[in-house]
Amino acid sequence: MTYLRDLGSGLLGSLRVMSRNKVGFAGLIITFVIVLTSLLSPYFVHMEMTANLDAIYQGPSAQNWLGTDYQGRDIFKQILLGGREVIYVAFLAGILSCGIGVAFGALAAILGGWFDTIATAAAELVITIPQYPLLLVLAGFIRLNSPIGLAFIIASISWGGLMLAIRAQVFSLKERDYVQAARALGLPTSHLLLKEIIPNMMSYILTNLVMRMTNAIYGQVGLIFLGVVPMAQNNWGVMYSLANRQGAIFGVNSAWYIMAPIFAIALLQFGMINMNRSLEELFNPRLRRGE
Amino acid sequence: MATLQAQPSARSGKEISTMLRKFFKNYYLRRTLKAVASVFVVTTLTFFLIRLMPGNPLDIYVASQMQTLGVSREEAEVMASSIFQIDLKRPVLLQYTDYLTGLLHGDFGLSIVSARTPVSALILRFLPWTMFVVSVSLILSFVLGVLIGTLMAYRRNTWVDYFFTGFSSILTAIPDFMVATLIIVYFGVRWKVFSVTGVRGSLTPGMVPGWRFDFFIDAFYHAALPIITYVITSIGNWMLQMRSSTMATLGEDYVMVAKARGLSEGRITSGYVGRNAILPLFTTLAIMIGGMFGGSVLIESVFTYNGIGIKLASALGARDYPVMQAVFIIITAATVTANLFADFLYGWLDPRIRTEGR
Amino acid sequence: MPETALEVRDLSLEYRSRRGPVKALRNVSFDLYKGETLALIGESGCGKSTMGFALIRLTPGTAKITSGNVTFVDGPNRINLMEMSENEVRRFRWTDMAMMLQAALNAYNPLIRIQDHFIDTAKAHGLTNKTEILARARRLLTGVQLDADRVLPAYPHELSGGMRQRVLLALGLLMQPKIIILDEPTTALDILTQRSIIDLLRKLKDEFNFTMIFISHDLSLAAELADRVATMYAGQIVELTDVFSAFEKPRHPYTFGLTRAVPTLHGAAEKLESIPGSPPDLVFMPSGCKFHPRCPFATDKCKEVEPKLTAYGTHQVACHNWQQVLEESQKAR
Amino acid sequence: MALLELKHITKQFRQGKKVVTAVDDVNLAIEDKEIICLVGESGCGKTTTGKMAAGLLDQTSGQILFEGKDISKLSGAEFMAYRRSVQMVHQDPFSSLNPVRTIYQTISAPLLYHKFAKDERDARRRAIEILELVDLTPAEEILDKFPHQLSGGQRQRVSVARALTVNPKFIVADEAVSMVDVSIRASLLNMLRRLNQELGVSFLFITHDLALAKYFAWEGRVGVMYTGRMVELSRSPSLIEKPLHPYTAALMSAIPEADPRLTRSKERIVLRSDDIPSLTKLPPGCHFHPRCPVWLEGKCDKVQPVLAEMAPGHQVACHVAFDITGGGSRMTAGNR
């Protein structure tokens, strides 16, 4: 019980700390709302399967909040349903890419030797090659059909920069006096890494995570737009891409069809980028006390 | 000291070795070697990706020719050889060296889709337009971003600062090709600032390239939308970086000392603050250039601008592997070269780097 | 009465901070005499570095001078810095009064050569003839015992710490200022290098006849170089007197405390005593005398009334109980 | 048997393609409850020596004995015991504590890991005891603060407290007070001396300030290092009153002192050169000879002197000091 209470007050405390940065807290709420609705709507919202040719490209109305598409289907419902896969791939790719970057970077700095040499050389190569063209060519060569595969490919080409940065930071952090002191106290390497070193890089890692997630959204939507990834499900990228092909761009009412996914993606990314400011506040005690 | 005491005969040997060491320590030389090495590695990887990976494009091509045209494997392989510039009868290692010498001569094989046109011809036709758009955009956004970023740092926590911070935080949230779409929807369709069909392509049909005024006007007219898109989507990054870098530099002791020395505000801003603050920006130049070339695939597609990006987009759709491979290598090489150029610029601006090997 | 070179009256300066104004200087008044060496001593955060900046009206970051006058006296001419325009102040700096910051290591723009620092400075003050500027730089560099041919074309990162300090001195003398302010001139230098800089300062002072203020946390440097010593605490001068009285007959408990906290090399091992507590928060300062929470001589009066800097002969002190302090300090010797 | 003994330890670093010898053949034995000060200018190898003594840096060659045993041959448990017995306090109060961890987290981690406390509550109780031991009060309040909320002096005390969590026998204090305000330095030094007297902790106190060394190690010994070598090692009173090495004598004559009459009447030893030799280009023979006012041509520039006992408990590495027993008089006389 006390544990639960501690956890509760801890969460409340964290929220209070994060709410100190207004813009950041707004970002946090936006992100939270979008992610939650995207994850839950598939259980509540159902898409009409048939086209309704009488109601093609209607403007917004009480019935269709964001109007209808080229088959007369409701756009708002598509927006509600279309976020899940986008977020899923972004999250998976972001976590994977950061995971590889942080793990390789930290290990290279701590182990040194041949592992360091190889990992550094690989990372340097990966960052020389322009990422997006590489992603396109890889996606073109390897026929992709699952979102997981897409996330893996995105992650596999985007870890280099973070790895080098983390390596450099761990190199310098591990020589810091407080890490040396912890070493002299006989504390294990896991403590040095997890308790002394990584917490000091948290805000950097988070910034990178968000950046990688937005990059993954870019990559995913771009690939769908270019027709390299099959358009099966409800997905904001598919909506944008179909709208383009159907020429929705050229009409005044039909523009709602193309604007809606753009707005959804922009709002999500705006939320994520600003959310970072609040999270930083949580991980940096110096910011926390407002000093 | 050491050379003075050394024997005359030993000295020459020592001098040569120090000369060699100095030569290899040279900043510019090391960078160049690194750039060449990375292009080499990328081309090698591409070769193995195309030739040796299970389910690689070459095997797929051979299989599809056998199926659709009903030819024998041998015949299909001959056709594949001419298209991919890879002689399948030779050992893999020699195939590889052939491929490399081919690349060195600018021979990228033939396009599968475009009626057997040499890929190099396609690239020569489309690449210049993309280079033009990307370089103009890069220079514009860099220069504007640096100026605005400096202004933001000097006027920090005023409305100028807040306005541009907000501007860039909104724009970084929208992918660049979607910004392109928004431009068409609002400026083209709604407000009719330009004719949506008129700006398509890289030149108005019938316009003949040449050193003429009307040609340049026309080229800029068609390139304007992609350039605007690139500039407004990448300027935020330069602004924010320059802002924080300038603020860090303003806190440096030498700036304070320069003020104490009575230097004029103008001299301090340009010669002391600006010059130092701009240096860290060069490190992100490579990522930005790579990003812009990558973005060209999508932005050119949205605007139907005839550059190398749209060529890669159509090759992707049609699985035209030789074109994909060539465009990829070219984009990589262009990025690496631009990056090398940025490194040189950095070395030229920062004596601490330049004198590294001394 | 010695001739005055600089008159400081009621000088106050505040930094803006989220918690409220940081009162870094509070109504500081003193006279600087022509040709003397005045040491400003005190601990970090006492306002001594801020004072250096304020004297040339160069306010770092969020600082603002809230009151006071700084008058530069040159024979019959009296110039009030606070009444000058920005451009006049800019020209005044370095020509009449040169302030050399702490950390000579980072005093140079890393991207330009040493000679360009000389040229930039000279041009800012109206000299245009490059050969003449460089000839003057060469003379000064030789004067600070450097090889001008090597140093002038070098980039800052190619010089050692001691060399950079010497170059800064040469640069400071370029416009032949009447007053030179040095902030921690030898901190971060090795002992032997420090010694040669001290000797050099003495030599230059004889040669160029300038008036010098130096700011240091190091009491021994003051003992070595100063004619008079001003002790600063919580943004004020609490004691100002000649160097011998400051060390041998201190009348302010803080000065007295400092002299007892520093070990000496000669003589037998002595007992050192710290001043209890720590320097005050400059936003929320204690009432009355700012030193009273740390002071062994404090009385009720000290908690309520802040003592003013008062002259007793040539010895100025801001303490209600200076007689007891003096007595105690004589006993301790 | 000495508590910790450094035997012919040498440390070389790679600097690009050059090899730099930061510490060159240093011998030092630290006894139980002893205070030794290492003095020298930046780059003389004193900090590197300290780090090797604290087991934070491996020596290139030579041996380190802990209670008579070579530490490279210790078993896991023995090595852990050595690790705990030898602690380090760093110079910079702003980087010696992890900015994102509270004081309690910093202090409790070793207590819990090494089972000096059985649970969090016990760790808290023990942490308060230790903080009070280093005069940090109110300990209860300080425990929940972050480092940036403490003053420099308080942080240094926390650093010492952290070292004390594992009941060390020996603490390497690297310039532990040099970045703390003058007015509170003495109380820190007095606190460290109390730990030495009451808990019997030995100290290797590294400083560039000879006056500080004299104050802290008056009952112990002082070693002077120059370009990686120990040039003089002696009981403190003997070294302070009668330095035998010309470098030590020069340092002592150069230091300004907080007494105007004394410092202005000190005899100066003028060196032949102000240039500190680069570690990559050390002069042959005695490293100090190009600056030394009393060098002997043909000897000092040819043969490197070794540390040898000249007076009881007073070792020095100098040919000249060896030639004229009685030491410093010739140097000061010759160069007034």
Q: State residue C290 phi and psi, 5-degree precision.
A: -70, -15
The verdict on D170 and D147 lying in the same domain is yes
- The band of A291, judged by pLDDT with boundaries at 50, 70 and 90, is very low
Side-chain half-sphere CA neighbours of A72 within 13 A: 8
Share of chain B above pLDDT 90, in %: 33
How high is the pLDDT of residue B224?
Answer: 92
> Model confidence over A27-51: pLDDT tens digits?
999 999 999 999 998 888 877 767 7
Count helices and strands in chain A by DSSP H and E runs: 13, 0
Whether the pLDDT of residue D328 is over 80: the answer is no
Are D276 and C217 a contacting pair at CB < 8 A?
no
D322 and D208 assigned to the same domain? no
Q: Please state which of the ranges B158-162, C60-64, C128-132, C295-299 shows the lowest mean pLDDT.
A: C60-64
Question: How far off is chain D from C264, nearest CA to CA, in Å?
Answer: 5
Looking at residues B296-300, what average pLDDT do you find? 93
Q: Domain span at residue D54? A: 4-241
- Name all domains of chain C by residue range, CATH numbers in brackets: 4-226 (3.40.50.300), 233-332 (no CATH)
Q: With CB atoms and an 8 Å threshold, state whether D186 touches C191.
A: no
CB distance A129 to A71 below 8 Å: no
Mean pLDDT of C55-70: 88
Q: Out of B146-155, B337-346, C176-185, which region has the weakest mean confidence (pLDDT)?
A: B337-346
Closest residue of chain C to A291, computed from CA coordinates = C18
How far off is chain B from C155, nearest CA to CA, in Å? 7
List pLDDT tens digits, range C8-37: 999 999 998 888 899 999 999 999 999 999
DSSP letter at C252 equals: S
Residue B173: Cβ within 10 Å count? 21
pLDDT at D331 over 60: no
Residues in chain B with CB shorter than 8 Å from the CB of C102 are 253
Using a CB-CB cut-off of 8 Å, the residues of chain A touching B328 are 133-134, 136-137
Does A131 contact B290 at a Cβ distance shorter than 8 Å? yes
Closest-CA residue to D26 (of D42, D1, D44, D2): D44
Q: What is the mean pLDDT of residues B77-81?
A: 78
Whether C120 and B262 lie within 8 Å, measured CB to CB: no
Most confident option among B139-153, B179-193, B320-334, C104-118? B139-153
Same domain, D146 and D204: yes
Provide the pLDDT for residue C1. 67
pLDDT at B54: 62
Choice between A66 and C217, residue whose per-residue pLDDT is larger: C217
Smallest CA–CA separation between A78 and chain B, in Å? 18
Instruction: Read off the pLDDT band of D327 (50, 70, 90).
Output: very low
Strand order in the sheet with C315-317: C97-100, C179-183, C211-216, C37-41, C228-233, C236-242, C315-317, C310-312
Question: Do D233 and D247 belong together in one domain?
Answer: no
pLDDT value at residue B286: 76
- Listing DSSP states for A2-23 in one string gives HHHHHHHHHHHHHHHHHTTSHH
What pLDDT score does D333 carry? 35
Alpha helices (runs of H) in chain D, residue ranges in sequence order:
46-53, 76-85, 103-113, 120-133, 139-143, 152-164, 182-194, 210-216, 236-241, 246-254, 260-264, 319-323, 329-334
pLDDT of residue A2: 60
Q: Are A208 and A191 contacting, i.e. CB atoms less than 8 angstroms apart?
A: no
| Domain-wise residue ranges, chain A | 86-214
CA distances from A80 to A76, A224, A262, B160, B181 (A): 6, 19, 13, 37, 22
Contact residues, chain C, for B251 at CB < 8 Å: 61
| Nearest residue on chain C to A290, alpha-carbon basis | C18
What's the average model confidence in pLDDT over B155-166?
92
What is the rounded CA–CA span in Å between residue B276 and residue C109? 8
Provide the pLDDT confidence category of residue B43 given band limits of 50, 70 and 90: confident
Higher pLDDT, C99 or A7: C99
- Are D75 and D88 contained in the same domain? yes
Whether D231 and D252 map to the same domain: the answer is no
- What integer is the mean pLDDT of C175-185? 92
For residue B286, the chain A residues in CB contact (below 8 A) are: 127-128
Is C43 close to D210, i.e. CB distance below 8 A? no
Task: State how far the Cα of B58 lies from the Cα of B73, in Å rounded to an integer.
Answer: 12
B-chain residues within 8 Å CB-CB of C106?
Answer: 252-254
Dist. CA C213–CA C37, nearest whole Å: 6
Pairing between strand C228-233 and C37-41? parallel
- Residue D255 reports pLDDT greater than 70: yes
Please, which pLDDT band fits residue B71 given cuts at 50, 70 and 90?
A: confident
| Distance between C4 CA and the closest CA of chain D, angstroms | 24
Residue predicted with more confidence, B321 or C1: B321
pLDDT of D334 higher than 60: no
Can you give the CATH number for the domain in which D204 is found? 3.40.50.300
Provide mean pLDDT across the span B305-318. Answer: 88
Q: Does B271 touch chain C (CB under 8 A)?
A: yes
In a domain, B89, yes or no: no
Q: According to the model, what pLDDT value does residue B9 have?
A: 43
Quick check: A288 pLDDT over 60?
no
Do residues C8 and C52 touch, judged by C-beta distance below 8 A?
Answer: no
Residues of chain D positioned with their CB less than 8 A from the CB of A181: 87-90, 96, 159, 162-163
Residues D294, D154 share a domain: no
Q: What is the mean pLDDT of chain C?
A: 90
Tens-place pLDDT, residues B176-227: 999 999 999 888 888 888 888 888 888 888 788 888 888 888 999 999 999 9
Look over chain B and give the mean of its residue pLDDT values, rounded to a whole number: 84
CA distance C205 to A239: 79
Write the residue in B258, B259, B275 that is nearest to C111 by C-beta.
B275
Same domain, D92 and D228: yes
Residues of chain C positioned with their CB less than 8 A from the CB of B259: 58, 93
pLDDT at D150 over 50: yes
Distance from CA of A64 to the nearest CA of B (A): 21
Residue D112, judged by CB atoms within 10 A of its CB (0-12, 13-18, 19+), counts as middle
Counted residue by residue, chain A has a size of: 291
Share of chain B above pLDDT 70, in %: 89
Task: For residues C99-118, give the mean pLDDT.
Answer: 87
* B58 domain-assigned: no
Q: How far is residue D335 from each of residues C195, C279, D292, D329, D331, measured CA to CA in Å? A: 16, 44, 11, 10, 6
> D223 and D303 share a domain?
no
The listed range with the strongest mean pLDDT (A129-143, B226-240, C184-198, D270-284) is B226-240
Which ranges of A19-130 would DSSP assign to H, the alpha helix? 22-44, 75-111, 113-128
Residue A289 has pLDDT above 60, yes or no: no
Interface test with A, best of D66, D89, D100 (most A CBs within 10 A): D100
The whole-chain average pLDDT of chain D stands at 89
pTM across the whole model: 0.86
- Chain D contact probe: residue of C46, C105, C191 with most D CBs at under 10 A: C191
Q: Lowest mean pLDDT: which of A26-30, B102-106, C76-80, C294-298?
A: B102-106
Rounded Cα distance between B173 and B191, Å, is 24
Lowest mean pLDDT among B37-46, B120-129, B271-280, C33-42: B37-46
* Residue where a domain terminates, one of D213, D241, D269: D241
| Mean local confidence (pLDDT), C246-263 | 92
Pair D201, D155 in one domain: yes
Tell me the pLDDT tens digit for each residue of A222-277. 999 988 877 667 889 998 988 888 887 887 778 888 889 999 999 999 999 888 88
Q: Does C102 touch chain B (CB under 8 A)?
A: yes
Cβ-contact C159, B353 below 8 angstroms: no
CB-based contact, C196 to chain D, within 8 Å: yes
A chain contacts of residue C18, beta-carbon cutoff 8 Å = 290-291
Its domain, for residue B274, covers 129-355
ipTM field: 0.85
Domain count within chain B: 1
CATH of the domain at B307: 1.10.3720.10
Q: Cβ–Cβ contacts within 10 Å for residue B256, how many?
A: 22
Q: Hey, are the CB atoms on C155 and B263 less than 8 Å from each other?
A: no
Q: Per the structure block, which two tokens stand in for D87?
A: 């602690």
**A133 closest CB neighbour out of B38, B185, B328:** B328
CA distance C284 to chain A (A): 15
What's residue B10's pLDDT?
45
Residue A3's pLDDT is 63
Residue B65 lies in a domain: no
User: How close B169 comes to chain A (CA, Å)?
Assistant: 7
Q: Which chains touch A (3 or more CB pairs under 8 A)?
A: B, C, D
Nearest CA in chain D to A199: D100
The band of A163, judged by pLDDT with boundaries at 50, 70 and 90, is very high
- Collapsing DSSP states into helix, strand and coil, what is residue D35? strand
Minimum distance, in Å, between the CA of residue A24 and any CA atom of chain C: 20
Average pLDDT over residues D48-64: 93
